[in-house]
Amino acid sequence: MSPHSTIGSEVQLLLAMVKTLILVVGGIVTYLAYKAYRRTGDRSLQLLSVGFGLIVVGVLLAGFTFELLGVDLGLGVLIESLFVLSGLSIIAYSLRVK
């Protein structure tokens, strides 16, 4: 059974659309945080941009592995979750950096 057969085509299309929007908005937030870091030199903004970048990369990898490589949906979600966890951990740390 193909991993794509576990969800309906409508859900698959909506999922792809939402993931694309997450990539676009997440990319913008990452860019703005990095731009603010470059302007101020504030290390916490640098870490913030890295954290958001990891989240965006996780979303990209999850979609890539599922859609293009045909990897099981559960493994794609696990990969994404690990990147999101790492990104959020760095974001949390960035909020504590003085």
Query: What is the per-residue pLDDT across 31-59, written as a single tens digit (0 to 9) for each?
Result: 999 999 999 999 999 999 999 999 999 98
pLDDT at 98: 72
Query: What contacts 24+ positions apart, CB below 8 Å, involve 23-32?
Result: 23/56, 23/59, 23/60, 26/52, 26/55, 26/56, 26/59, 27/56, 30/56
CA-based nearest residue to 7, from 56, 54, 77 = 77
Q: Is the pLDDT of residue 27 over 90?
A: yes
**4 part of a folded domain:** no
Global confidence as pTM:
0.82
Examine residue 12 and state whether it is found in any structural domain, yes or no.
no
Domain that holds residue 52: 19-96
Q: Total domain count for the chain? A: 1
Query: Is the alpha carbon torsion for 59, 20, 71, 68 positive or negative?
Result: negative
- Distance from C-alpha of 49 to C-alpha of 35, rounded to nearest angstrom: 9
Report if residue 3 sits inside a domain: no
- Asked if residue 85 belongs to a domain, the reply is yes
Q: Name the average pLDDT for the chain.
A: 89
In a domain, 49, yes or no: yes
